[in-house]
Amino acid sequence: MRRSLLTVCAALVLVVGTARPADARMEELIDWLMELSGPGPFRGLRVEWEYMCFGTLRPGYSSGIFESSDAKKETIHPASKCYSLEKNKRQMHFGVTGSVLTKADSHYDTAEPLASLDPEVTAFPFGATFDMTFLDPAQRLGRMLEAGVTMSGVRFSGQRFEPFWVPRFEARLTFRPGGHDSEPNKLDAVLARVMVQWVGSVSPEQFGGLPGESSGTHVKLYATVGVDIERLFFVR
């Protein structure tokens, strides 16, 4: 069965902001609070899907009635086996993430005839994720911490302007409390993340607005707490 990572945000805490009064947070686990100089805030939903992982399967792992021949090998596995990795061995996780976010108005002043068009702005962040254990997973702390990155772009569209993309990069540290136990447990579904993200500059003209100053690169440090719905309810 294909394992999708559908993560729902339980809390969103802004830790620190930089530079301009409003800057970018293009994707949270759920994007309740999106700020970008000019067009934000946005609202929407983010989904992550893990399609591949690298590690060793738990002893006794079976696919059907036979024990997997890969159970003792450190190798690449499809998504269907990624919840069955041995927690005391190093792990790497590969996924994709996407969001559909909307905002009623870009906040930029717009002249006619564009001003008569629908002002709604849609943002579509899409990219690839990579997370891995970086400490000794045989130790409790090593099982509880993962480091990762997200490489993505954000596509903006609306009736007042031509669609365009800006780059986005995110570095993240994930804390998994379920790592306190080397055996699978319900806390494996809970995660907390601290993230730093960089989003490319935008200008009023890109959103159909009157000429003005570009926003510059946006940098934001923030934290989220989430729950992996599939791991919580459907993974044994």
Residues 6+ apart with CB under 8 A from 58: 71, 84, 85, 86, 87, 184
Q: Does pLDDT of 45 surpass 60? A: yes
| pTM of the predicted protein model | 0.74
Q: What is the pLDDT of residue 69?
A: 54
Encode pLDDT of 54-84 as tens digits. Answer: 999 987 665 544 445 555 678 999 988 888 8
- Summarize the confidence of residues 145-174 as an average pLDDT: 94
Listed by start position, the domains of the chain span 7-61+70-205+218-225
- Reported confidence tier of residue 1, pLDDT bands at 50, 70, 90: very low
Encode pLDDT of 172-216 as tens digits. Answer: 999 999 999 988 888 888 889 999 988 888 888 998 988 988 888
- Summarize the confidence of residues 144-158 as an average pLDDT: 94
DSSP lists the bridge partners of residue 195 as: 172, 222
Name the more confident of 118 and 173. Answer: 173
- Reported confidence tier of residue 90, pLDDT bands at 50, 70, 90: very high
Q: Does pLDDT of 2 surpass 60? A: no
- Summarize the confidence of residues 17-45 as an average pLDDT: 39
Most confident listed range (104-108, 147-151, 206-210, 214-218): 147-151
